[in-house]
Structure 1
Amino acid sequence: MEKLENFLSSKLLPISQKLQQNKVLAALMEGFIRTSPITLGIALITIVGNFPVPGWTDYLTKIGIYPHVEAITNGATGVFSIYVVYSLAYSYAKQLGTNERNAALISLASFIMLMPQTISTIVVENGKNVDQVISGLRLDYLGGQGLFIGMITALLVTRFYAFLTKKNIMVKLPDSVPPMVTQSLAPAFVVTIIFVLVFILRVLFGLTASGSVFQFFIDVINAPLNSLVASPLSIIIIMELLAVLWFFGIHNAVLQGPLGAISMTMVVSNIAAFQQGQALPYLVPSVIYMGMYASGFMGFVTFFMIRSKSAKMKQLGKLSFIPSIFNITEPIMFGMPIILNPIFFIPQVFTQLIAGFVTWGLTTTILPVHLNPTMSLLPWTTPTFVKMPFSGGLNYTIIMVISMLIGIVMWYPFIKIADKKEYELELEAEKAKKQATDSQVVQAEIQA
Structure 2
Amino acid sequence: MNTGTFRQWGRRLADYLPRPSRKNRVLLMILGSAGLATFALLATAPQPPEPKVEEKVWPVSAVAVATASLSPELMLFGRVESPHHAALRSDGSGDVLSVHVREGDRVSRGQLLVSLDREHASLALEQAEANLADAESAFASLQADIRAEKRVLAHMEELYNLTSAKAERLKGLNQRQLIATEHMENTLQEVARQGIELARQQARVEKHPQRLARAEAAVNRARAQRDDSELRLEDTSVYAPFDGRISAVTVAPGDRVDTGSPLLSLYDTGALRIRASLPAANLDTIKQALNAGQSLEAYADNSDAALSLDTLAAAVGTGRSGVDGLFSLPADDNNLELGRAVALRLVLPPVDEAIALPIQSLYDNRRIFLIENERLRALEVNPVGQRSKADGGLEVLVQAGQLTAGSEVLATSLPRATTGLKVQTVAAVVARHDALHNAQQTGQPGGAG
Give the alignment's TM-score, normalised by structure 2: 0.17
Q: Which has the larger radius of gyration?
A: 2
The structure, 1 or 2, with the larger RCO (C-alpha pairs under 8 Å, 6+ apart) is 2
Larger strand proportion, structure 1 or 2? 2
- If each structure's helix is expressed as a fraction of its own residues, which one has the higher value? 1
Superposition TM-score, scaled by structure 1 size: 0.17
